[in-house]
Amino acid sequence: MAASNPLILLTGASGYVGGRLLAAMERRSWRLRCLVRNVERLRARAIPSTQIMEGDLLDRASLDEAMAGVHTAYYLVHSMATGPGFEVTDRRAAQNFAQAAARTGLRRIVYLGGLGDSREQLSSHLRSRQEVGNILRSSGIPVLEFRSSIIIGSGSLSFEMLRALVERLPVMVTPRWLRMTTQPIAIEDVIGYLLGAIDRPSEESRIYEIGGPNVVSYAGLMQEYARQRGLRRLMISIPLVTPHLSSLWLGLVTPIYSRVGRQLINSIRHATVVQDPAALDAFSIRPRGYQEAIHRALVNEDREFALTHWSDALSSGGDLKSWAGVRFGTRLLDTRSVKVRSHPREAFRVIRRVGGDNGWYFGNWLWRLRGFLDLLAGGVGMRRGRRHPEWLRVGDTVDFYRVERYEADRLLILLAELKLPGRAWLQFEVEPTGEGSIIRQTALFDPMGVWGLWTWYLLYPFHKIIFVGMLRGIAKAVESPAA
């Protein structure tokens, strides 16, 4: 069927799995239409041939137009982040979608749900995931439903919760149910199954349980993550800690994930393992183990970080506006911007001269002091300077930084090679505006354990003075007649 290139509808394209699937489908040149609530949010990520339509699964009128001429629709939407009433919202959305599918003659629905024994009293999260599949099948349209346990990949909610706990807590009081088993699957393998669905016969509905080759406890996953990160973690089992108390504790330790995380914590008390291995016979996917999945997630995080524009996730309004400690995964961000009246080429020309004999545009003695302290600790210090006072290329040294990414007149990312309890970057972006340019400066830190977090917050007041002064100095140099 893939050879006939039917029109495919993708919902949830702005989400984690949907965004990965969108990119994979586009690489295969499939005819694709995305239904999203915010067209502009997706437009920058999609290629021109991908149709983007505005709509909402809670708005029935928007669904008929989106499904017109569609052969297969991917349903990758859930409302868990909206709060306690998410089950009602998910139910309404699935009912609207199923009814529109029946009206418009859709040929098949592909849905990603969750593992869990339906004979048990499942958590609201798992119960809702399986209810949505039942509602979609009630349309009479064949539904190919994949049920998975936790998904491991850079940026996935389950993985980020796991790593946040391990990174922040050297000693963990763990409840007995953390020994409950799961069968995690790598995000790459989930995408492989979803892509493979297009070639499966569409005459009847099927449920496929998917997972990696290993059954492991949640505590085992945490221990493996700690091993790969080189962290020593002590786990003390306390049987009296209930899922409710754990969800409150999670809200304190990882506040950015508290609303959704509490629902996931309640699901951990259920084993989520594959009972029916039929997917291995029906598809050519051979899922990787959880050790490799964690390794790939950590490696891919660096690649995705290098390809990410932080301004896409943070407001860019206001000169010298700053966010201290905003989290992206485990990384901490401090970003600010300033507007100048010069062309981006002229603005970037000042940025690419940073360091070496030209200095850092503010507090050069502070930069030299930091380099001296690093030298005493056995680091590289400031003695390396620059290869060339005017030009940069990837791999060049800039004092105690190294150029990790360079795009002429637009982007410079410097990786710090200081002795630090973690990894640090300094990033500059230049974007054109109607009246000149916006220069955006972002400092990022990937802390190693609790000491790394303390280092960030202890030094933040000093860094703010230095980075604010540097950005002002860059703006002044850009608008100087001698620039």
What contacts 304, CB < 8 A, 6 or more positions away? 154, 155
d(CA 312, CA 44): 10
| Closest to 418 (Cα-Cα) out of 388, 477, 378, 454 | 378
Specify the pLDDT at position 155.
73
* Model confidence pLDDT, tens digit, residues 158-174: 787 787 778 777 777 77
Instruction: Judge residue 12's burial from the number of C-beta atoms within 10 Å of its C-beta, 0-12 exposed, 13-18 middle, 19 or more buried.
Output: buried
8 A C-beta contact, residue 125 and residue 264: yes
The answer, yes or no, to whether residue 387 has pLDDT greater than 80, is: yes
Distance CA 372, CA 355 (A): 15
The residues pairing with 386 across neighbouring beta strands, listed in sequence order, are 398
Q: 447 exposed, middle or buried (CB, 10 Å; 0-12, 13-18, 19+)? A: buried
- Among candidate residues 386, 438, 436, the one with its CA nearest the CA of residue 411: 438
CA-to-CA distance for 454 and 425, rounded, in angstroms? 17
Q: What is the mean pLDDT of residues 223-240?
A: 83
Same domain as 342, residue 222: no
Point out the domain boundary residue: 303, 337, 353. Answer: 303
pLDDT at position 219: 87
Phi and psi, residue 401, nearest 5°? -110, 165
What confidence tier does 307 reach under pLDDT thresholds 50, 70, 90?
A: very low
Spell out the alpha helix ranges (H) of 2-59: 16-27, 39-43
Q: Quick one: CA dihedral 6, 11, 12, 14, positive or negative?
A: positive
Q: What is the DSSP string of 225-261?
A: HHHHHT---EEEEETT--HHHHHHHHHHHSGGGHHHH
Q: What is the pLDDT of residue 322?
A: 39
Of the chain, the percentage scoring pLDDT greater than 70 comes to: 83
pLDDT attached to residue 327: 46
**Residue type at 219 in one-letter notation:** A
Average pLDDT, the chain: 82
For residues 450 and 348, membership in a common domain is answered with yes
Q: At what angle do helices 157-168 and 258-268 cross, to 10 degrees?
A: 90
Alpha helices in 309-405 (DSSP H): 344-351, 364-376
322 with 281, same domain: the answer is no
pLDDT band at 324, cuts 50/70/90?
Answer: very low
Q: Decide which of 410 and 314 is more confident.
A: 410
Residues 96 and 146 in one domain: yes
Q: Is 480 exposed, middle or buried (0-12, 13-18, 19+ CB in 10 A)?
A: exposed
Mean pLDDT of 227-246: 74
Q: For position 437, which CATH number holds? A: 3.30.530.20
Most confident of 103-112, 155-164, 402-411: 103-112
Say which range, 26-35, 254-263, 368-377, 410-419, has the weakest mean pLDDT.
254-263
CATH number at residue 56: 3.40.50.720
340 and 410 share one domain: yes
Q: Please name the residues in contact with 230: beta carbons below 8 A apart, sequence gap of 6 or more.
A: 448
Question: Based on the domain organization, do 90 and 124 belong to the same domain?
Answer: yes
Domain hosting 404: range is 308-479
463 shares its domain with 315 = yes
The verdict on 466 and 339 lying in the same domain is yes
Which of the pair, 248 or 17, is modelled with greater confidence? 17
Rounded to 5 degrees, φ, ψ at 175 are -75, 160
The residue among 169 and 362 whose pLDDT is bigger is 362
For residue 2, give the DSSP letter: G
Domain termination site, one of 285, 303, 321: 303
Whether residue 68 sits in one domain with residue 36: yes
Do 274 and 313 fall into the same domain?
no
Structure tokens at 297: 């997630």
C-alpha 149/C-alpha 127 separation (Å) is 13
Looking at 284, 303, 322, which one is the last position of a domain?
303
Is the pTM higher than 0.85? The answer reads no
**Domains contained in the chain, number:** 2
Which 3 state secondary structure label does DSSP give 30?
coil
Residue range 248-279, pLDDT digits in tens = 556 555 544 445 555 566 666 677 899 999 99
- What residues pair up with 146 in beta bridges, in sequence order? 112, 208
Least confident of 317-321, 428-432, 475-479: 317-321
Predicted local confidence at residue 244, as pLDDT? 59
With beta carbons less than 8 A apart as the criterion, state whether 32 and 26 touch: yes
pLDDT in the model for residue 165: 76
Claim to verify: residue 350 and residue 210 sit in the same structural domain: no
Looking at the structure, tell me whether residues 283 and 372 fall in a common domain. no
Q: What is the pLDDT of residues 420-459, one digit of tens each?
A: 888 889 999 998 887 889 999 999 888 877 788 888 888 8
